[in-house]
Amino acid sequence: MMKPDFSAMTRKELRVYLLTHRDDRDAFYAYVDRSEVEANWLEFPPVQSMDELKNFPEFFEKVRRNDTDA
């Protein structure tokens, strides 16, 4: 069986493939590598209380967007 060309897949396609082929290590590593390359991380200092979370609305918006994009 021939493996698909992971480099030609979008990150979403690769994620779907990985979820249906969970034991495919090559797919896993391709997905992790792609995620690191395409990542646009948001970094925040650690919060000291739950009340501090309201100070990071852009974080929650990014999580909300990524949840619908995944």
Q: Is residue 2 part of a domain?
A: no
DSSP the chain: -PPP-GGGS-HHHHHHHHHH-TT-HHHHHHHHHHHHHH------PPPSSGGGGGG-HHHHHHHHHHHHH-
Q: Is the pLDDT of residue 67 over 70?
A: no
Q: Is residue 1 part of a domain?
A: no
Range of the domain at 23: 8-38+48-69
Q: Is residue 12 part of a domain?
A: yes
The confidence score (pLDDT) of residue 68 equals 52
The total of structural domains in the chain comes to 1
pLDDT tens profile 3-47? 899 999 998 999 999 999 999 999 999 999 998 888 777 677 787
